[in-house]
Amino acid sequence: MLQGNNSNPTHNSNFSRYAFDFTMSTGDTVTSAQNGYVIGVIDGYHGWGNGDKWKSYANQIIIYDTITYLFTMYGHLKQNSSMVKVGDYVKIGHPIALSGQTGQAQEEHLHFNVLQADSVKGGLKSYRLDSIGNYKVKELKRYQLMTN
């Protein structure tokens, strides 16, 4: 794990507070963490860099689960690597894209964020998870090696 919850430099806003960055090589397959409908695909960007000016240039996929009402966002994906399109229904484990390094990214990684609707402010806010697979979130450490 490259960066965890509520941490600097980028996981400290309402939108990303409970996000995770997982170290992955460019071209590794990213799979869906939930069943749901693909509601967003951005995959045309190829650049990356440090600083806020790069935030808008990250390729990403967003999936919405109609049972939990949660969104999962997968970011910094490789250019033109999406394996899904808006409207597709995917199941857990379905390949959706290839990892990469686009947008505000100092190195190759997957930005993973679970989001919920924010009825007070409108838009979306980051949603706290208790665990990821067999790992308890509160026990995860930066640069910890995680396996399936």
pLDDT, tens digit (0-9, with 9 covering 90-100), for 65-120: 999 999 999 999 999 999 999 999 999 999 999 999 999 998 999 999 999 998 88
Separation between Cα atoms, residue 105 and residue 90, nearest integer Å: 27
Instruction: Please report the pLDDT score of residue 144 as a whole number.
Output: 65
Residue with tokens 């899904």, as numbered in its chain:
84
What's 4's DSSP letter?
Answer: -
Dihedral sign from CA coordinates of 50, 55, 57, 60: positive
Instruction: Please report the pLDDT score of residue 4 as a whole number.
Output: 72
